[in-house]
Structure 1
Amino acid sequence: MPTLSQPPTVALTDSPSPWRWTREACSRLKELEFLPERFELIEGVIYEIMPKNRRHVLGLRRVRNWLFTIFGEDVVQEQDPIEIASEDQTFNDPEPDIAVLRQSVESYREQAPGSADVLLLVEISDATLSLDRNRKARLYARAGITDYWALDVRGRRLFVHREPGNEGYDSVLEYASDEMVAPLAAQHATIRVMELLPSTEFPQVTDYDKT
């Protein structure tokens, strides 16, 4: 059975508060070409989105293609922004790996989909596991994202976050690679976690790995 999981403890220090960047400042810096081509702004900190390694690429591909079979391709958004809680928008501009939306991605023409539009959010966590389980989890919880998954491709496990609140998720379950899981929005669509993970040896094609 999945086990209860708690986010890693983050040490607190007496250091002065760091400068926090805003969306507006980042937009200006990008215009001046002072920022990398791809980055995320999380709690005022600028994180460069590094080139994806093969674990991330294959994990993303497996999750995406499985979700296509359940929800359809037109509602699965990949590595694009979502809007979060209004009080967090000044210092945050996340781009989750996958968001399953209530409507077609094409229907959100004027602005990015908001939290009420998101049925499932997935981060493929390789070098970013601590960020995804701490800062991003709190951000997504405050936004009211009801089903947030962090797929740990190194540790070969899945963290499922549910019951969002102002301080984070009240329910965080850790699923081992041999355990079954399903999205809240499609509880009939169970899958074993290992089928979402890249092979430990050579990538093998499964029913969900369709090009």
Structure 2
Amino acid sequence: MTQPVLAYRWSRSEFVRASEAGAFDHRVELIEGEIWPVVIGSWHGDTVGQLLALLPRSGVRVTTATLPTGESLPDPDCWVRRAGAEPIGSVGSRLSVWDASDVLLVVEVADETTIQDLNVKAKLYGQAGYPVYWVVTQEAIYEHTGPISTGYRTRVEYLHGESIPVPYTDIALATDDLIAPRPV
């Protein structure tokens, strides 16, 4: 007879204590009580670098910090907040909590995590009320807008050769400039 396996769900405070104590030997994030490894390959790293270099910075802060979201602690590849925004709280000794109205754009670069980023993380970020969420893949950038309790109302796909509007500005950027070339 097979015994059911009970999965342990981490609380945010347990995860923070473990992280601050150095319990993890590699980069991880807490998503809905589960610990997910964070894997960064060459294409992923190159694309994040391009995003960081090209996202407009006037009146905003572009960061790669953990973004506490509900009971989860995701590590978006980058996100943008108003320059004058002040944290509304903290998690542990190192993480700031931000008001959703101050978070202008959240970006995940998806190499091996496309399904999770388009589904699980879209739900998390939408529930938190972040107005715009991008998932950058090798083929396209998926823009999510209109946050609701189940994720986002709208998802638009921007392909190579197109431009995507930057939500906190009145400019658009070429997807080909944001997506690093495919590895050979």
5+ residue gaps, structure 1, are 1-14, 203-211
CA–CA distance in structure 1, aligned partners of residues 183 and 118 of structure 2: 27
Provide the residue aligned with 1:36 in structure 2. Answer: 25
Structure 2's unaligned 5+ residue stretches are: 91-95
Structure 2 counterparts to residues 53-202 of structure 1, below 5 A: 53-67=41-55, 70-72=56-58, 75-78=61-64, 80-84=65-69, 88-89=70-71, 92-103=72-83, 108=87, 111=90, 112=96, 113-153=98-138, 156-186=139-169, 188-200=170-182
Q: What is the TM-score when the length of structure 2 is the normalising length?
A: 0.84
Cα distance between partner residues in 2 of 1:182 and 1:40: 29
Q: Whole-Å Cα distance in 2 between the matches of residues 20 and 31 of structure 1?
A: 18
Please state whether the residue corresponding to 1:134 is helix, strand or coil.
helix
Q: Distance in 2 between matches of 1:31 and 1:192?
A: 39
Equivalences, count: 175
Aligned to 1:27, which of 4, 16, 27? 16
- 2-structure distance, mates of 1:56, 1:44: 25
In angstroms, what is the RMSD of aligned CA positions?
2.4
Residue 209 of structure 1: aligned partner: none
Instruction: Give distance in 2, aligned partners of 1:104 and 1:54.
Output: 34
Aligned pair in 2 of structure 1 residues 17, 137: CA closer, same or farther (>3 Å)? farther
SS at match of 2:180: coil
AA of the residue aligned to 2:13: E
CA distance in 2, matches of 1:54, 1:23: 30
Higher fraction of helix: 1
Q: Which has the higher contact order (CA 8 A, sep 6+)?
A: 1
